Structure 1
Amino acid sequence: MPHLTQAGDPPEPPQLDGLVLRRATSGDREAVWPLVRQIPGDQPDRGSFDRSFGPLVSLLDTYLVVAESPDEGLVGYLLANFHRTLAAGGSVVWVSEVAVLPSARRQGLGRELVRAAERWARSVDAVSVSLATPGAGDFYRALGYVEDATYFSRSLA
């Protein structure tokens, strides 16, 4: 059985030209909001964001990691969740969101955020990492991800 603790952080958080990856804290709320607005699709609702942020920071089955630059502050984040499955051969980690500010793109930061999620997935004994993307397929294929399902959603609004 996996151990879901905040100590499940990746060992030795990577640094990329002064950027540091670390778990988000409740104090990061305002700095993460502009990053959330970088996610393609519908514009996020600020009230929903505010209600969700605190719990996501503290849930043991959730990994919310931010990328922090000494000059620019937070420039990226990744949100992933751990869940048990019956058919996948074990538990899986689902990456829900990855965002990097335009000024910090194409520097390897997205790759490092995904690798941090993979390290976290191993630390909670997950058998795989999965995600859906509306337009970054080439990026994920370059990281070794393969297309293996069709993603469907239905709005409940």
Structure 2
Amino acid sequence: MTTEILKSKEELRNLIDNYAYLGDEWKISEVMDLFIPDMTYKVYMGGNLVGNTSGRENLEKEFNEHASQVKTYFTLSGQHTVHITGETAIGISYSQIKMVREIEGKDVLTDYSVKYDDQYIFQSGKWLIKERTAHFLVVESRTL
């Protein structure tokens, strides 16, 4: 493995970690900077497509709307495997996402187990997300 590939793998891991860090801190506009302008973001729950967004501006609007309903985010990034071919790459990553929302006066914790299938592209000297497909595999909610 070349040092260039190792450097790219580290940069891609940092991209995924930054997605989690920035999202947890409600820095939505900075999260958007991790995507190319004409990106695609799909969401599956229970194997069913429940979201399909194109374009960074549209995604930012959706993320901001969602964030306005959440009191606390906490994300743990797990495995991340990438295959790099020149200036493109594909990757799989796993996350545990916890969200606290107030529902009927009570704090409700929803715990998500998510697998992401990603396509990345190297542009303007950095790796960016071109396409992200989120598979919400396990969703559990409980009152705190």
Interval containing the TM-score (normalised by the shorter chain): 0.3 to 0.5
| TM-score (normalizing by structure 1) | 0.32
